[in-house]
Structure 1
């Protein structure tokens, strides 16, 4: 949803060897896990849902975490809350950089441990800490989330994909142990629209894509949202930021025109600037997805 023209398959490419190795190690550790904290990006809550996750975790308890809530407006957050509740899910919205929503998330994970140990007690077994894993695409904020839960910096965290390279257990308290896992993306993602959203948000890790095409897709998506949900967007974000009108331009045409207007015809520089400004929130609080229907 959101793109005004079709983008060819394999626009976004990544590397199966590295992904397969990470998936294999994660699946081995999942056998030891009681609860899964699935972290998604508030700008693209559907595109950051790993298509194999439900298969991997089976009947294990899952806590849905929508991180980077600071990147969308309260109105967008409320739209998603209502939609997830209609699907029978309770999302926990967090900002792992500032710590918002962390206490509620910690209580949800701990509640899973209470259920676990009650079952162990009923079978005559001793209590033990609940084992949780934090899973999500690269750069959705998993490590920063763990540091917030721990209330100290224990795992490396940065606003770029691929910082976490290995699986590592850390103890939050006597009740909870957490597994920090590298970002995982599907071996193959047929939905190139979703892949483009991941690239726009920089949630894709080691991948190969054309910045100009991705920036054009972002502009097209923004134009689409301005047409169907303008009340949920900041007013004229591109015009406000670059002092250049966007009316009736396709993303590609606007990108080239902006390059002539501000960057001496350097289209690559214009594309990188637009993507950087969006990722840093300098264009305002802009979602790339709305709930279906």
Structure 2
């Protein structure tokens, strides 16, 4: 199925990215939020350059959407790379306290340096960054304990940078989702589209849904499609699966079927399905 490559870089993101790089000079600790279903694809390649030596807290959100055994495999994978991820379900408020304590601990070292120089301690300044719709605003609202910033299950809700005070100890900067101006890896771009971590204007639903079907078969989740839609994906391509299901239930409306498949995955109706496994990397 041929269609243009997935590229999406709206003006508000370009503007916010410049502002973010300015604000990073004032920040003590960085919380990078990844999508637990695609931890590698949802990591922004420029984050390391942006933050330099600042402490980074890695948050893998939507942990409820992957099986526990996959989570354990990722924990091992990150440990081998000397990283400790914090697992959250920001929507339900799970795993939030550990993230808050980690941010406070990272800031304690900064305040000790201030005391050593004869300066008064101040609130830790943290920034939450990541792709659009990975759950940054939901995480902030849970950390604050109230709805402090706009949050919704779609990309592009946060449009500008804003500081939110969590407590006397922490101030958080909510930044719009940041994406590379060019998505070099189109396989990653497709995964981001499947997970709705980039804006819908960036992609063709039918193309993305067809690749999604092929990906599920490749990852060993063919049975999920078979039992849910009563159609065997093992003998046909993802593109044919979309066509056959459209003919079967929607009078040939492939767009409707594509949206149905993506919606069922994104809302968890298909069950816990990771789109990346550690042994691939």
TM-score range, shorter chain: over 0.9
Distance 1:37 1:206 in 2: 25
Aligned to 2:37: 43
Conserved 8 A contact 1:14-1:206: no
- Once residues 273 and 206 of structure 1 are traced to their aligned partners in structure 2, the CA distance between those partners, rounded to angstroms, is 15
1:250 Cα deviation after fit: 1.1
Distance (whole Å) between structure 2 residues aligned to residue 264 and residue 129 of structure 1: 59
Aligned to 2:152: 158
Distance 2:132 2:19 in 1: 16
The aligned residue for residue 14 of structure 1 is 8
Give the conservation status (yes or no) of the 8 Å contact 1:12–1:207.
no
Instruction: Pick one of 210, 220, 227 that aligns with 1:240.
Output: 227
In structure 2, the partner of 1:271 is 258
CA deviation map 1:107-158 (0-9, x unaligned): 0001011111111111211100110000010100000100100111111111
Q: Is the contact made by 2:193 and 2:200 (CA closer than 8 Å) also made in structure 1?
A: no
* Residue 170 of structure 1 pairs with residue 164 of structure 2: yes
Which of 137, 147, 152 is matched with 1:143 structurally?
Answer: 137
User: CA shift at 1:18, angstroms?
Assistant: 3.6
- Measure, in 2, the Cα distance between the counterparts of 1:41 and 1:284: 16
1:123-272 aligned at under 5 Å gives the runs 123-205=117-199, 207-226=201-220, 236-272=223-259
For the residue of structure 2 that corresponds to 1:246, the secondary structure is coil
Per the normalisation by structure 2, the TM-score is: 0.96
Q: 1:168 and 1:180 mapped to 2: Cα distance?
A: 5
**Partner SS for 1:131:** strand
Three-state SS of the structure 2 residue aligned to 1:112 is helix
- Give the unaligned 5+ runs of structure 1: 1-6, 227-232
Distance in 1 (CA, whole Å) between partners of 2:196 and 2:274 is 14
Q: 1:164 to 1:16 in 2, by over 3 A?
A: closer
Distance 2:243 2:227 in 1: 18
Structure 1 range deviating more: 259-268 or 34-43: 259-268
The 5 Å alignment of 1:275-290 reads: 275-290=262-277
What is the total number of aligned residue pairs between the two structures? 280
Deviation at 1:10, TM superposition (A): 4.6
Alignment of 1:110 onto 2:115: no
Q: What is the TM-score with the length of structure 1 in the denominator?
A: 0.92
> Residue deviations 1:63-93, cap 9 Å, x none?
0000000110111111111100100100000
